Chain A
Amino acid sequence: MNETGPLPVAQKGDNHRKRVRILKLLRPALGVVVLLFILFRMYQVLVVQHEFGPDTWTRLLISGLIIGAVYALIAIGYTLVYGILFMINFAHGEVMMFGAYAGLFAFQAFGAIKISSEPPTSFLNAYPVIAIILAFLIGMSISATLGYFLEKIAYRPLRKAPRLVPLISAIGASIFLQNAAQLLFSPQLRDVTNPEILKRGEGWKILINGSNVVISYTGVFTFVLSVLLLIGLYIIVQKTKLGRAMRAVALDKNTAALMGIDVNRTISRTFIISGALAGAAGVMWGLHNGLVYYFVGFIPGIKAFTAAVLGGIGNLPGAMVGGLFLGIIESMGPAALGIDFQLKDVLAFVILIFVLTFRPSGLLGEVLAEEKV
Chain B
Amino acid sequence: MKALIRQAVRTGFTFGIVNIFFVLIGFNTLIGILLAKLSGIKQPGIIPAPKFLIIYTLLIGLWVGFSAIAKKNELEFGKKVLISGLAGLTTGFLAGLLNAVLAFLLINKVNARDFLTVLSFDFIKGTLFGLPPVSGILMTVVYFTLASLVGGTILALLNLKPVKNAWNATKFFIRSEVDKIQTVTQGKNRLLWQILAISLVAVIVVILPLKWGSYWNYVFGTVGLYVILGLGLNIIVGLSGQLVLGYIAFFAIGAYSMALLNSPVPHNLMWGFWPALVLGVVLAALSGLLLGLPLMRLRGDYLAIVTLGFGEIIRILLKSDLLTKFTGGPRGIQNISGPTLFGKPFASDIDFMFLIIGGVLLAVFVYSRLQHSRTGRAWLSIREDELVARASGVNTVTYKLLALAIGAAFAGLAGGIYASRNQFTGPDEHALMASINVLSLIIVGGMGNIPGTLLGAFALKGLPEILREFANFRLLAFGALLVFMMLSRPEGLIPSRRPKYQLPKDPDKIDSGKEAKND
Q: Does the CB pair A177–B312 fall under 8 Å?
A: no
Complex Cα distance, B305 from A171, in Å, reads 12
Cβ–Cβ < 8 Å partners of A171 in chain B: 436, 439, 482
Q: A158-B487, A169-B486, A186-B117 are in contact. Are A177 and B479 (CB under 8 A)?
A: yes
B315 smallest CB distance to A (angstroms) = 10
Q: B308 within 8 Å of A by Cβ?
A: yes
Q: Does the CB pair B487–A157 fall under 8 Å?
A: yes
A373 smallest CB distance to B (angstroms) = 7
Complex Cα distance, B77 from A269, in Å, reads 41
A340 smallest CB distance to B (angstroms) = 5
Cβ–Cβ < 8 Å partners of B306 in chain A: 352-353, 356
Q: Does the CB pair A352–B309 fall under 8 Å?
A: yes
Interface centre among A27, A30, A309, A352 (most CB of B within 10 A): A352
Interface residues of B in 77-92 (CB under 8 A from A): none
Considering the complex, give the chain B residue whose CB is closest to the CB of A149: B17
Which one of A50-58, A160-168, A253-261, A281-289 contacts B?
A: A160-168
Q: A337 within 8 Å of B by Cβ?
A: no
Cβ–Cβ < 8 Å partners of B472 in chain A: 183
Encode contact with B along A180-220: 1 for CB under 8 Å, 0 otherwise: 10011110000000000000000000000000000000000
Complex Cα distance, B302 from A370, in Å, reads 12
Q: B322 within 8 Å of A by Cβ?
A: yes
Q: Does the CB pair B301–A169 fall under 8 Å?
A: no
Complex Cα distance, B444 from A171, in Å, reads 13
Q: Does the CB pair A180–B483 fall under 8 Å?
A: no
Q: B475 within 8 Å of A by Cβ?
A: yes
Cβ–Cβ < 8 Å partners of B317 in chain A: 343, 346
Cβ–Cβ < 8 Å partners of B21 in chain A: 180
Encode contact with A along B297-317: 1 for CB under 8 Å, 0 otherwise: 111111011101110110011
Considering the complex, give the chain A residue whose CB is closest to the CB of B116: A184
Cβ–Cβ < 8 Å partners of A165 in chain B: 486, 490
B483's partner among A162, A164, A173, A302 (CB-CB below 8 A) is A173
Interface residues of A in 278-308 (CB under 8 A from B): 302, 305-306
Q: A342-B321, A356-B295, A356-B306 are in contact. Are A175 and B478 (CB under 8 A)?
A: yes
Q: A184-B25, A302-B308, A360-B297 are in contact. Are A349 and B479 (CB under 8 A)?
A: no
Encode contact with A along B367-381: 1 for CB under 8 Å, 0 otherwise: 000000000000000
Cβ–Cβ < 8 Å partners of A105 in chain B: 115
Encode contact with B along A319-355: 1 for CB under 8 Å, 0 otherwise: 0000000000000000000011011011011101100
Cβ–Cβ < 8 Å partners of A174 in chain B: 479
Q: A172-B486, A345-B316 are in contact. Are A88 and B24 (CB under 8 A)?
A: no
Cβ–Cβ < 8 Å partners of B117 in chain A: 183-186
B486's partner among A168, A177, A306 (CB-CB below 8 A) is A168
Cβ–Cβ < 8 Å partners of A346 in chain B: 312-313, 316-317, 320
Encode contact with A along B347-358: 1 for CB under 8 Å, 0 otherwise: 000000000000
Q: A163-B301, A176-B480, A342-B316 are in contact. Are A353 and B115 (CB under 8 A)?
A: no
Q: B243 within 8 Å of A by Cβ?
A: yes
Q: Does the CB pair A356–B479 fall under 8 Å?
A: no
Considering the complex, give the chain A residue whose CB is closest to the CB of B245: A171
Encode contact with A along B14-40: 1 for CB under 8 Å, 0 otherwise: 000000010011100000000000000
A366 smallest CB distance to B (angstroms) = 16
Complex Cα distance, B481 from A175, in Å, reads 10
B84 smallest CB distance to A (angstroms) = 24
Q: Does the CB pair A183–B476 fall under 8 Å?
A: yes
Complex Cα distance, B237 from A346, in Å, reads 25
Interface residues of B in 401-445 (CB under 8 A from A): 436, 439-440, 443
Complex Cα distance, B395 from A177, in Å, reads 42
Q: Does the CB pair A373–B25 fall under 8 Å?
A: no
A161's partner among B295, B305, B490 (CB-CB below 8 A) is B490
Interface residues of chain A: helix, strand, loop or mixed (majority): helix
Q: B212 within 8 Å of A by Cβ?
A: no
A residues contacting the other copy or chain, number (CB 8 A)? 56
Q: Does the CB pair A183–B473 fall under 8 Å?
A: yes
Q: B44 within 8 Å of A by Cβ?
A: no
Encode contact with A along B194-238: 1 for CB under 8 Å, 0 otherwise: 000000000000000000000000000000000000000000010
B433 smallest CB distance to A (angstroms) = 8
Q: A27-B294, A343-B320 are in contact. Are A88 and B305 (CB under 8 A)?
A: yes
Cβ–Cβ < 8 Å partners of A350 in chain B: 309, 313
Complex Cα distance, B301 from A306, in Å, reads 12
Q: Does the CB pair A167–B483 fall under 8 Å?
A: no
Complex Cα distance, B118 from A157, in Å, reads 33
Q: A153 within 8 Å of B by Cβ?
A: yes
Complex Cα distance, B480 from A352, in Å, reads 30
Q: A60 within 8 Å of B by Cβ?
A: no
Cβ–Cβ < 8 Å partners of B490 in chain A: 158, 161-162, 165
Q: Does the CB pair A153–B483 fall under 8 Å?
A: yes
Q: Does the CB pair A343–B316 fall under 8 Å?
A: yes
Q: B114 within 8 Å of A by Cβ?
A: yes
Cβ–Cβ < 8 Å partners of B319 in chain A: 342
B402 smallest CB distance to A (angstroms) = 16
Q: A108-B114, A168-B439, A176-B480 are in contact. Are A352 and B243 (CB under 8 A)?
A: no
Q: A167-B304, A174-B479, A309-B305 are in contact. Are A373 and B298 (CB under 8 A)?
A: yes
B310's partner among A163, A339, A349 (CB-CB below 8 A) is A349
A187 smallest CB distance to B (angstroms) = 9
Q: A175-B478, A180-B476, A183-B25 are in contact. Are A168 and B443 (CB under 8 A)?
A: yes
Encode contact with B along A143-154: 1 for CB under 8 Å, 0 otherwise: 000000000011
Cβ–Cβ < 8 Å partners of A161 in chain B: 486, 490
Complex Cα distance, B128 from A37, in Å, reads 68
Q: Does the CB pair B320–A342 fall under 8 Å?
A: yes
A172's partner among B294, B322, B482 (CB-CB below 8 A) is B482
Q: Does the CB pair A373–B299 fall under 8 Å?
A: yes
Considering the complex, give the chain A residue whose CB is closest to the CB of B433: A175
Q: A264 within 8 Å of B by Cβ?
A: no
25 contacts between A and B (CB under 8 A): A105-B115, A108-B114, A108-B115, A154-B487, A158-B487, A164-B300, A167-B243, A167-B300, A171-B482, A172-B479, A172-B486, A176-B482, A178-B475, A180-B21, A183-B472, A186-B117, A302-B308, A306-B305, A342-B322, A346-B313, A346-B316, A352-B306, A353-B310, A356-B306, A357-B297
| Among all A-B residue pairs, the 3 with the closest Cβ atoms | A172-B482, A176-B479, A175-B479
A-side residues, CB < 8 A to B, are 16, 23, 27, 30, 86-88, 105, 108, 153-154, 157-158, 161-169, 171-180, 183-186, 302, 305-306, 309, 339-340, 342-343, 345-346, 348-350, 352-353, 356-357, 360, 370, 373
Known contacts A174-B479, A175-B475, A356-B298; can you find 13 more A-B pairs with CB under 8 A? A88-B301, A88-B305, A163-B301, A172-B486, A176-B482, A180-B476, A184-B118, A186-B117, A342-B319, A345-B316, A349-B312, A349-B313, A353-B294
